Amino acid sequence: MEIARIARLERNLQIDRFALYRPFIVYTIIVTAMNTAVHTRGAASLLQAAAFITAGLLTWSLYEYATHRWVLHHVPKRHGFNLPGNVTHLRHHANPDSLDRLTVQLHESLPVSIVYCFLAWILTGSWESTTFLYTGFALGYFFYEYLDFQAHHGRARNRWIRYFRKNHVLHHHYDAKVRFGVTSPLFDYVFRTYRLGKRTR
C-alpha cells in the first residue's frame, strides 16, 4: 500500500499542471463573462437562475452518461472513421494511470459547448436561460474532470469523493458495462446499469 502511494506521488510530480488546469481556466472565464453580461442586464431572478442551473447539471449528467455509454464504449473500427473520443477512452481503460490527456481536450469540449448553447437558446429563446443552463452544464463538467482525476491520481479523503471514486473504479476494474455515470448514479438507475453484474475482467 505504501509502495503504491509513493509510486503515485512520484507519478503525480510529472503531471503538466497547466494542461491539467487549462479547461478549468478557459471555462471559468467563459462562464464568468456570460454571467456578468446577464447580471449587468439585470433581467433574471435568483429563482430562474437556480432552476436553470439545476436543469443544466441534469443535462450534463445525461450527456455524460449517454456519451460514455454509447459513444466512448462503442467498439471501434480498425480502419476508417471512429466516433470522437472513442479510441481515447478505450486507451484510458487500458491504462487508467496514464498521465496522457488527463482532461478532455479543448478542441473536443468547445464544439460541445457551442452546440449546447445553441440548442439551449433555440429551446428557451432566452439568453439568460441559456447562460444559466450552460453554467450548470459546465459545473457538471468540472466535477467530472475532478472526479476522474481523483479516481486515478488523487488523494482526497472526503467520504463523498471516496463514494464517487469507488463508483468509477468499479466501472474500470470490475465491469465496464455498468456505472457509466461519473458525477451521479442517476442515469445508471434510470437505464438499469447500476447493479453490478458478473465480473468481466
What residues line the site for Zn ion (CB under 5 A)?
A: 148
* CB closer to Zn ion out of 128 and 148: 148
3-state secondary structure of 179: coil
CA-to-CA distance for 201 and 191, rounded, in angstroms?
22
The minimum distance between CB 32 and Zn ion, in angstroms, equals 28
Contact 175, 199 (CB under 8 A): yes
The minimum distance between CB 85 and Zn ion, in angstroms, equals 10
3-state secondary structure of 12: helix
* CB closer to Zn ion out of 51 and 87: 87
* CB closer to Zn ion out of 148 and 188: 148
Length of the chain, in residues? 201
CA-to-CA distance for 174 and 151, rounded, in angstroms?
14
Q: Which three three-digit cell numbers place residue 47?
A: 429563482
The minimum distance between CB 114 and Zn ion, in angstroms, equals 25
* CB neighbour class for 125 (10 Å; exposed up to 12, middle 13-18, buried from 19): exposed
Residue of closest CB approach to Zn ion: 148
The minimum distance between CB 75 and Zn ion, in angstroms, equals 13
* CB neighbour class for 85 (10 Å; exposed up to 12, middle 13-18, buried from 19): middle
* CB closer to Zn ion out of 35 and 150: 150
* CB closer to Zn ion out of 22 and 172: 172
> How far, rounded to the nearest angstrom, does the alpha carbon of residue 186 sit from its chain's CA centroid?
14
The minimum distance between CB 147 and Zn ion, in angstroms, equals 9
The minimum distance between CB 163 and Zn ion, in angstroms, equals 15
* CB closer to Zn ion out of 11 and 121: 11
CA-to-CA distance for 113 and 19, rounded, in angstroms?
19
